[in-house]
Structure 1
């Protein structure tokens, strides 16, 4: 049964078979980074790409810098915040009181208490 595909004998995403058909790779340069735990990582960037000031260490996840004698400090993890803590960041106590009064008034109207 014919599938109707115009491309036969290849699969989607397959690359060229011969190295000569691939073309020349873009010029690259090595950049080294060190983290506070003493890990070293070397990445290769395009020659014309800007060099990032920090890079995440693949071993421990800490930020790594280009100066091996003075690597960036450890990242502090954010403490767990509850839903109420996030609400309190967005609303003041006066806003909370106004919303509570409005909700209680609506509840009392539905019950016929007012």
Structure 2
């Protein structure tokens, strides 16, 4: 039940006759890499994350009763060559290389 103090000095209740009690709550235990264990309260219907930031160390802590988080498949980094080959064919690249080499030879 919550009370608000009005300007007349009395407390007016914000609760309604049909209000239920507190929402369902559950506590989940986490353990950080530095062996610090702590609990985090969640709503009963909340999706509980597998990792949580440790309040003392700031490191990613894992759920004690949870499984390992799935590792996402990482794309291999695209190189400049990969991007070039997407835009041009090998014969086109050979022709451009020869043109640039001829231009450089003429400058000498």
Task: Name the TM-score, length of structure 1 as normaliser.
Answer: 0.41
Task: Name the TM-score, length of structure 2 as normaliser.
Answer: 0.43
Q: By percentage of residues, which structure has more strand? A: 2
